[in-house]
Amino acid sequence: MVKPTLDPSSSSSIATDVEPLLEFDRVGLEYPFEGSMRRIIQEVNLSIKPSEFVSFVGPSGCGKTSILRMVSGLSPAPIGEIRYRGQRIKKPLNNVGIAFQNPVLLPWRNTLNNVMLPLEIVPPYKNDFGQKKAEYTRMAQDLLSTVRLQDFQKQYPWQLSGGMRQRASLCRALIHQPEILLLDEPFGALDAFTREEMWTMLQALWMRVKCVGILITHDLREAVFLSDRVFVMSPRPSTIIYEELINLPRPRTLEMELDDEFNHYFSNIRRHIHHN
């Protein structure tokens, strides 16, 4: 198969001279266990540039989801520190979008109103929601069109398939144009066909917003398809044992999964997970 030409304007590579948006400085985590402290994360040191998409992969229980909670500020790093634009994260950030494996759409709201929810509660949007509601509605409709849900704006969650609910959840996570998008195995409950379709839709949304994306996943092909870099974590007490730079052009297509270069990245990551 012929490899796609790498267009520098669409490459996944991130300029090295850009100041990082996020910095992990000797980040660790431990929990009380049977009268003592059990170390979960030994130490993580890394930085993430603006508009970069990264994935964390590794065995269950190594602290991947805890990393998302620390970045969001819901559970600030108890050991070391995570800095956002040079400032230590000590409290929840407003400019974060989050999507989980379970979409958790509000059952009494239709698709459009579920997507618009952050605009009602996140500053500065909530301050002028009433005045700009028509503008915000167009923003939500535009995102829904990107994921092919423009004809399902008035449907309620129970009237949507699992894939549709997850698409709406991604739109909701991005409607307020966050600088950071946190994704905790968002497609883990979907069938393989729907999951791959969701990769292309998430990529399209992310390329519109151009925020930092941080994905937790057990699907190594998903990590390669979506990421600029993939971090492999060791079993606990965990640390980063391997980093793979994914230098594939964007937008990426599902046909790229058959390409030798794609499978080279996949094999490198898989080998480092299995060796630890």
pLDDT of 276 > 60? The answer is no
| Structural domains of the chain sorted by starting position, each given as residue range(s) with its CATH number in brackets | 7-95+228-276 (3.40.50)
Provide DSSP, 126-153. Answer: GGGTTTTHHHHHHHHHHHHHHTT-GGGT
- Quick: pLDDT tens for 122-143: 888 999 999 999 999 999 999 9
Please tell me the predicted confidence (pLDDT) of residue 274: 62
pLDDT of 2 > 90? The answer is no
Report the distance separating Cα 61 and Cα 50, nearest Å. Answer: 28
- Quick: pLDDT tens for 78-105: 999 999 999 999 999 989 999 988 888 9
Please tell me the predicted confidence (pLDDT) of residue 275: 58
Report the distance separating Cα 168 and Cα 201, nearest Å. Answer: 11
**pTM of structure:** 0.90
Three-state DSSP at 30 gives strand
**In angstroms, what is the C-alpha Rg of the chain?**
19
Strands 229-233 and 53-57: parallel
Report the distance separating Cα 52 and Cα 262, nearest Å. Answer: 19
- Quick: pLDDT tens for 17-34: 689 999 999 999 998 888
Report the distance separating Cα 204 and Cα 105, nearest Å. Answer: 21
Please tell me the predicted confidence (pLDDT) of residue 18: 82
Residue 172: CB partners within 8 Å, gap ≥ 6? Answer: 97, 99, 105, 114, 115, 116, 117, 118
pLDDT of 36 > 70? The answer is yes
